[in-house]
């Protein structure tokens, strides 16, 4: 890790954008000085407000993009304002922006990291939680619908790979493909337990081989992802009506129905883990993936996307494919695993890469027994 620079007071800023606003928001962020803007293809999840036929033949899930960029806290508010203005993210159905405070961040000199001061600290207590469920291909829609039913605004689904110790056994690797789906949603902390458990039940996460899910504290954000589609001629959608009532009532407490809902799950949660994330060019991701498992991590996941070109524009832009490879560990294991990955990266000669770590207060998977 001798070639890495350490960065303090850095946040991972996330945007969920409709496909038609991605280009303009990215361009405006670049003009404002943002670097290393990572795009991951995604799809939205919606509930139809139409009649019987609409529910029998629902409209296709909207195309979206999950955008992630590491930003020094000194620049976070300014660049967030640029994204909100460009994407009109303060409007219902326009998308979302939320930030997660990194515990640590390291990068090589050639990695495109946004310039900013190390001294400025804008970390604040988390008012929301991001929930991610990693599941087998084909299960994401059930999990997303469970999140919607529990009140989560528009879950987003991304695609990638994932595996664990069993991947080291060739026969098992042949019989079970690595393709995974990732269901993301951001909710108020007061609602997170119910949403988390509903998603876990829908995905049967506590059963062998079903997947892994976790939550991450979110310090601030605006969540206006579209959750419904209507075939009616009303002037406003149901989510716009609910948003207006939230503003009139001064919060979401009025939504409570008074019904007693069980938010218990007969299982043991993993607590106080650390998420270790490595951003590398896609050509080298398999070596990083294997080195994480070789270092003793119980599992590893990968999302693929493109890094927005900082210099090109229009047809001249040549966005490069990158990979986000990550795992969840006990805090005491992070430095060792990061050291093993760094050694592999230096061995194969990667000169552009970054690490960051995020807190994972709660996680769930099959624990055996």
DSSP letter string, 271-292: EEEEEEEEEEEGGGHHHHHHHH
> From CA 342, how far away is CA 355, in angstroms rounded?
9
Residues 346, 348, 352, 355, Cα dihedral to 10°: -60
Q: Is residue 283 part of a domain?
A: no
Check which CATH number belongs to the domain holding 160 and give it: 3.30.70.120
Please report, for residues 68, 90, 160, 348, the alpha-carbon distance to residue 97 in angstroms, rounded to integers and kept in the order given. Answer: 10, 10, 22, 36
Domain that holds residue 63: 4-259
360 by Cβ neighbours in 10 Å (0-12 / 13-18 / 19+) ranks as buried
Mean pLDDT of the chain: 84
* pLDDT exceeds cutoff 90 at 281: yes
Between residues 126 and 186, the one the model is more confident about: 186
Which residue matches tokens 């879950």?
Answer: 155
Q: Where are the alpha helices (DSSP H) in 96-169?
A: 140-149
> Residue 127 falls within a domain, yes or no?
yes
| Distance separating alpha carbons of residues 39 and 63, to the nearest angstrom | 13
Give the number of other Cβ atoms within 10 Å of residue 312's Cβ: 11
- The answer as to whether 325 is a domain residue is no
The pLDDT of residue 173: 47
Residue 276 is assigned to a structural domain of this protein: no
Q: How much of the chain, in percent, has pLDDT values that exceed 70?
A: 77
- pLDDT value of residue 355: 97
Give the total number of structural domains in the chain: 1
What is the C-alpha to C-alpha distance for residues 200 and 178, in angstroms, rounded to an integer? Answer: 20
Distance, first Cα to last Cα, the chain: 38
pLDDT of residue 235: 47
Whether 95 is in a domain gets the answer yes
| Model pLDDT, residue 188 | 92
Which residues contact residue 355 at a Cβ distance below 8 angstroms, ignoring those fewer than 6 apart?
A: 4, 104, 105, 106, 107, 276, 277, 278, 279, 338, 341
d(CA 15, CA 222): 10
Name the residue among 92, 47, 85, 50 with its Cα closest to residue 244.
Answer: 92
CA trace torsion 284, 285, 290, 296 (10° rounding): 120
- Judge whether 10 lies within some domain: yes
Mean pLDDT throughout 190-213?
A: 93
- Domain membership of residue 294 (yes or no) is no
Strand 220-224 versus strand 95-101 pairing type: antiparallel
Six-digit token string for 86: 């460009």
Is the pLDDT confidence value at 138 over 60?
A: yes
Q: Is residue 232 part of a domain?
A: yes
5-24 pLDDT, tens digit each: 999 999 999 999 999 999 99
pLDDT tens column, 58-80: 445 689 999 999 999 999 999 99
């Amino acid at each position: 890790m001798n070639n890495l620079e350490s960065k303090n007071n850095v946040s991972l800023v996330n945007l969920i954008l409709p496909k038609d606003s991605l280009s303009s928001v990215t361009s405006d962020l670049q003009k404002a000085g943002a670097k290393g803007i990572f795009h991951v293809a995604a799809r939205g999840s919606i509930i139809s407000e139409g009649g019987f036929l609409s529910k029998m033949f629902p409209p296709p899930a909207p195309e979206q993009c999950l955008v992630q960029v590491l930003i020094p806290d000194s620049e976070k508010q300014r660049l967030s304002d640029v994204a909100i203005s460009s994407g009109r993210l303060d409007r219902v159905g326009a998308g979302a922006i939320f930030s997660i405070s990194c515990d640590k961040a390291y990068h090589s000199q050639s990695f495109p990291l946004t310039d900013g001061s190390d001294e400025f600290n804008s970390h604040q207590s988390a008012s929301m939680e991001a929930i991610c469920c990693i599941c087998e291909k084909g299960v994401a829609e059930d999990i997303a619908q469970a999140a919607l039913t529990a009140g989560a605004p528009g879950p987003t689904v991304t695609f990638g790979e994932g595996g664990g110790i069993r991947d080291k056994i060739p026969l098992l690797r042949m019989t079970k493909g690595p393709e995974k789906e990732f269901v993301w949603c951001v909710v108020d902390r007061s609602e997170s337990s119910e949403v988390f458990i509903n998603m876990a039940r829908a995905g049967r996460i506590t059963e062998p081989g079903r997947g892994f899910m976790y939550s991450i504290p979110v310090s601030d954000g605006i969540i206006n992802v579209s959750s419904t589609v209507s075939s009616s001629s009303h002037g406003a959608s149901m989510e716009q009506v609910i948003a207006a009532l939230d503003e009139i009532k001064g919060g979401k407490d009025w939504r409570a129905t008074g019904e007693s809902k069980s938010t218990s799950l007969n299982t043991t949660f993993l607590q106080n883990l650390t998420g270790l994330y490595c951003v590398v060019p896609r050509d080298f991701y398999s070596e990083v993936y294997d080195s994480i498992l070789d270092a003793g991590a119980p599992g590893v996941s990968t999302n693929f996307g493109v890094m927005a070109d900082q210099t090109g524009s229009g047809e001249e832009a040549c966005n490069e494919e990158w990979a986000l490879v990550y795992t969840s560990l006990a805090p005491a294991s992070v430095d060792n695993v990061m050291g093993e990955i760094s050694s592999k990266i230096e061995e194969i000669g990667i000169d552009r890469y970054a690490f960051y770590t995020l807190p994972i207060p709660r996680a769930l998977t099959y624990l055996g027994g």
